């Protein structure tokens, strides 16, 4: 069994939440010039914007990032060097790219998984009244973080 398969099915998943946190911190630091921090574990974010990337191969599932509209605009603003009031369609592009980078950075941190797991192009959903259901058969790995004082949630749902 390859290392990544062992990771996906075995007992090392306790490292995944710290790896998600680290992957996100690196992306925000390098690409947005912002340090993010852990929020209280039960913190939730209003799902006004959800960016998702599918994972396929040795690790199958969906990584999503959800936050409120204001945070999404501010993330795009910092990523693109635009004033927040100048951010339009770029918000979805930036959120999609952030989710792609967090997913890619995460999988590259799991030994042996980089080659065996491909990412889909990102999808971004916006709105105030929607629910997302992933047909995953295991609990989600979630980490709540603070960006400029506002909470956002990174979630990884895995098919076994």
Q: Least distance (Å) from other proteins to the CB of residue 79? A: 6
Among positions 25-64, residues that touch other proteins (CB under 8 A) are 26-27, 30-31
Decide if residue 3 touches other proteins (CB under 8 A): no
* Residue from 5, 9, 57, 93 in contact with other proteins (CB under 8 A): 93
* Contact status, residue 58 vs residue 4, Cβ threshold 8 Å: yes
Q: Least distance (Å) from other proteins to the CB of residue 82? A: 9
Question: What is the C-alpha separation between 94 and 72, in angstroms, rounded?
Answer: 8
Decide if residue 114 touches other proteins (CB under 8 A): yes
Question: What is the C-alpha separation between 88 and 103, in angstroms, rounded?
Answer: 24
Residues that bind other proteins (CB under 8 A): 26-27, 30-31, 79-81, 90, 93-94, 97, 100-101, 103-105, 108, 114-115, 118-121
């Amino acid at each position: 069994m390859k290392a990544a398969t062992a990771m996906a099915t075995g007992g090392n998943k306790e490292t995944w939440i710290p790896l998600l946190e680290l992957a996100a911190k690196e992306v925000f630091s390098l690409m947005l010039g912002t340090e993010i921090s852990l929020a209280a574990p039960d913190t939730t974010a209003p799902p006004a914007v959800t960016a998702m990337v599918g994972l396929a191969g040795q690790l199958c599932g969906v990584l999503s990032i959800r936050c409120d509209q204001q945070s999404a605009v501010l993330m795009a603003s910092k990523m693109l060097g635009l004033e927040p009031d100048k951010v339009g369609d770029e918000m979805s592009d930036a959120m999609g790219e952030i989710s792609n980078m967090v997913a890619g950075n995460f999988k590259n941190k799991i030994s042996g998984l980089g080659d065996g797991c491909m990412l889909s192009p990102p999808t971004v959903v916006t709105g105030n009244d929607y629910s997302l259901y992933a047909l995953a058969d295991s609990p989600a790995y979630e980490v709540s973080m603070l960006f400029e004082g506002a909470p956002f949630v990174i979630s990884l749902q895995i098919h076994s």
